């Protein structure tokens, strides 16, 4: 059970289809946790290029382990990022479940409100948003996806650097 709250899927004003809370949620409430068997992890390098592109659309790249793509088997795949400059109403929590951070409400969320996750939750954020990262770190990966993610075989770069 990845998602831990009553929800619905519907048209999003942010992007295509979105995830909406069917109930009011308190700040700090745990909303999602990784559940082996429902969500899956796969190594990016092991995926054929076409399958990798498809899975990257609905999955996320673990910021702490950028070699892993996590594929949500429930409606969490419809969780959108907020528009640039707007704050998310959900964020990664400090607790881990099965090796992945839980997602918590960053503030109180009203019933019917779309849930929007912080960009730092997905190391593939910049590619998904068609953006270039603003900063680079010598260490390679960090929580905001400032690393080149090379898709298998094709050599296509997910987050391009100047």
The tens digit of pLDDT for each residue in 24-71 reads 999 999 999 877 765 566 777 787 877 777 777 777 777 777 777 777
Q: Is 18 exposed, middle or buried (0-12, 13-18, 19+ CB in 10 A)?
A: buried
pLDDT of residue 13: 95
Say which residue the tokens 């400090």 belong to: 94
Integer Cα distance of 55 and 58 in angstroms: 6
Sheet harboring 68-71: ordered strands across? 40-43, 68-71, 60-61
Over residues 80-122, the pLDDT tens digits come to 989 989 999 999 888 877 777 889 999 999 999 999 998 888 7
CATH 2.170.270.10 is the classification of domain 7-128: yes
Cβ atoms < 10 Å from Cβ of 27: 11
**Do 59 and 86 form a contact (C-beta atoms < 8 A)?**
no
CB-based contacts of 26, cutoff 8 Å, min separation 6: 105, 108
Q: Where are the domains of the chain?
A: 7-128
pTM (predicted TM-score): 0.69
**Do 146 and 135 form a contact (C-beta atoms < 8 A)?**
yes
């Amino acid at each position: 059970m990845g998602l831990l709250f009553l929800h619905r899927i519907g048209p999003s004003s942010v992007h295509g289809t979105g995830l909406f809370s069917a109930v009011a949620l308190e700040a700090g409430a745990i909303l999602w946790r990784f559940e082996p068997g429902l969500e899956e992890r796969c190594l990016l390098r092991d995926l054929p290029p076409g399958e990798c592109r498809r899975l990257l659309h609905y999955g996320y790249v673990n910021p702490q382990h950028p070699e892993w793509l996590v594929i949500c088997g429930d409606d969490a795949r419809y969780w959108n990022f907020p528009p640039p400059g707007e704050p998310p109403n959900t964020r990664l929590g400090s607790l881990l479940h099965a090796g992945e951070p839980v997602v918590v409400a960053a503030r109180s969320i009203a019933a019917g409100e779309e849930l929007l996750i912080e960009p730092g939750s997905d190391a593939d954020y910049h590619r998904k948003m068609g953006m270039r990262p603003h900063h680079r770190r010598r260490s390679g990966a960090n929580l905001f996806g400032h690393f080149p993610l090379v898709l298998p075989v094709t050599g296509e770069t997910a987050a391009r650097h100047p």
